Amino acid sequence: MNFVLALVFGAFFGFSLNKAGLTTYQKIVNVFRFTDMAVLKFMMTALVVAMSGLFALRGLGLLTFPNIPATYMVGNIVGGLIFGVGMALTGY
């Protein structure tokens, strides 16, 4: 049952990425060139919607949070720095 849900969520995830244009090289790279900010608009909208939804539902006692990604400052920042290189190179 959980796997069926995963398939459905994945399909909507992929669908929204495709419709926002994030499956193309130029969209990803152009955000780093400040010529097309669609990636940021998309990411931040998703963040704000999910954030308010999740915290509201938790406030109502309807859900509990899964494991929150661990914070280890150096690892997170260094990982992000290397990640950016790959992202600008491939556009994925």
Partner 1 sequence: MKFILNYIRKEEWSPYVAGILLGMVGVAAVWLSNSLLGASGAFENLAGMIGKAVAPAAFDNLYFNFIMPPGITWGLILLVGVFFGGMIGAATSGTLLWGKKGAANSDAQWKRIFGPQVWKRWVLAFIGAIILEYAAGIAGGCTSGLAISGGMLLAPAAFLFIMGMFASGILTALVIYRKRY
Tell me which residues in 8-47 interact with partner 1 (CB under 8 A).
8-21, 23-26, 29-33, 38-39, 41-47
Q: Which of 15, 39, 43 is nearest to 25 (CA)?
A: 39
Question: Binding to partner 1 by residue 53, rule CB under 8 A?
Answer: yes
List of residues 6+ apart from 58 with CB closer than 8 A: 64, 65
Question: Binding to partner 1 by residue 60, rule CB under 8 A?
Answer: no
Q: Given candidates 2, 59, 60, 61, which one binds partner 1 under the rule CB under 8 A?
A: 2
Minimum CB–partner distance for residue 14 and partner 1 (Å): 3
Question: Binding to partner 1 by residue 66, rule CB under 8 A?
Answer: yes
Torsion of CA 60, 68, 43, 88, to 10 degrees: 180
